[in-house]
């Protein structure tokens, strides 16, 4: 079952400034979109969860697993001039944005490429929209402001200046984050800390 819009993914252009990134408005084939949104796990707490630690449908896992295919690895690798073959992939889920989330940051250097797939029915709020930023100091100095709408996808190469974030939003904001990592040990470390964080949140809920 091909749920991912491979044609769109392959053809979308990459913007080089302020760092290599692209935005695909519809990453899921239309007939699969609503079932996939309905399958998104009910995560009512903030933070990231390892997909392995969350109960998901077979369809949902199949969608995520498509990013681990040779075809998608090749497409993303070609776009960002990185050889992703053999690089470990990490998939995490976010279902709820806290007021403190979205602060300006760059991703860890242990990550090569970050892919964000948003699975929200719609997006009306003025806040919570991902911004591709020109610096690490000014949320208003952005090159792109991207809607976290139904199956929109943002991907970027992790660089020293890959500043991004979004104006504070509190509420349901569903996303899948895919990262291709520098090594297997790195994946184990990321998974451990996400699992520990999830357990602590459950303990103090």
Q: What is the pLDDT of residues 165-196, one digit of tens each?
A: 999 999 999 999 999 999 888 767 777 766 66
150 phi-psi bin (left φ>0, alpha ψ -120 to 50, beta other): beta
User: If pLDDT is split at 50, 70 and 90, which confidence band does 199 have?
Assistant: low
- Asked whether residue 72 is assigned to any structural domain, the reply reads yes
- Asked whether residue 45 is assigned to any structural domain, the reply reads yes
3-state SS assignment for residue 194? helix
**Structure pTM?**
0.92
Domain of 40, in residue numbers: 6-203
138: CATH: 2.60.120.620
On the question of pLDDT at 81 being above 90, the answer is: yes
Give the mean pLDDT of the chain.
Answer: 93
- Asked whether residue 1 is assigned to any structural domain, the reply reads no
- Asked whether residue 112 is assigned to any structural domain, the reply reads yes
Report d(CA 55, CA 38) in Å as an integer.
Answer: 13
On the question of pLDDT at 46 being above 70, the answer is: yes
User: If pLDDT is split at 50, 70 and 90, which confidence band does 197 have?
Assistant: low
Per-residue pLDDT tens digits for 48-70: 999 999 999 999 999 999 999 99
Nearest alpha-carbon partner for 12 in 145, 142, 154: 154
On the question of pLDDT at 109 being above 90, the answer is: yes
- Asked whether residue 13 is assigned to any structural domain, the reply reads yes
In the chain, what percentage of residues exceed pLDDT 90?
A: 87
Between residues 189 and 141, the one the model is more confident about:
141
Half-sphere exposure of 27 (CA within 13 A, CB side): 28
pLDDT at position 139: 98
Neighbours of 22 (CB within 10 A): 19
On the question of pLDDT at 12 being above 70, the answer is: yes
Domains held by the chain: number: 1
- Asked whether residue 140 is assigned to any structural domain, the reply reads yes
In the chain, what percentage of residues exceed pLDDT 70?
A: 92
Nearest alpha-carbon partner for 91 in 59, 66, 70, 74: 66
Q: What totals of helices (H) and strands (E) does the chain contain, helices first?
A: 5, 9
Mean pLDDT calculated for residue range 152-177: 98
On the question of pLDDT at 201 being above 70, the answer is: no
Report d(CA 183, CA 110) in Å as an integer.
Answer: 8
Written as one string, the DSSP assignment of 141-188 is: -EEEEE---EEEEEEEE--TT--EE-----EEEEEEEEEEES-HHHHH
Report d(CA 84, CA 76) in Å as an integer.
Answer: 8
- Under 8 Å between Cβ of 133 and 163: yes
What φ, ψ does residue 93 adopt, rounded to 5°? -125, 145
Mean pLDDT calculated for residue range 112-132: 97
């Amino acid at each position: 079952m091909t749920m991912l819009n491979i044609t769109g993914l392959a053809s979308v252009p990459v913007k080089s400034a302020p760092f290599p990134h692209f935005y695909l408005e519809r990453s899921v084939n239309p007939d699969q979109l609503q079932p996939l949104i309905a399958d998104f796990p009910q995560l009512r707490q903030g933070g990231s969860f390892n997909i392995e630690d969350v109960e998901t449908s077979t369809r949902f896992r199949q969608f995520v697993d498509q990013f681990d295919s040779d075809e998608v690895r090749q497409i993303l690798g070609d776009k960002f001039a990185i050889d992703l073959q053999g690089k470990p992939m990490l998939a995490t889920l976010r279902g709820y944005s806290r007021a403190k989330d979205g602060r300006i940051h760059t991703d860890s250097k242990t990550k090569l490429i970050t892919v964000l797939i948003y699975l929200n029915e719609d997006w009306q709020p003025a806040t919570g929209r991902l911004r591709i930023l020109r610096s690490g100091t000014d949320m208003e100095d952005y090159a792109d402001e991207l809607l976290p709408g139904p199956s929109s996808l943002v991907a970027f190469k992790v660089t020293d200046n890959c500043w991004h974030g979004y104006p504070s939003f509190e509420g349901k904001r569903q996303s899948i984050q895919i990262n291709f990592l520098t090594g297997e040990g790195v994946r184990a470390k990321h998974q451990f800390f996400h699992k520990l964080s999830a357990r602590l949140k459950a303990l103090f809920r």
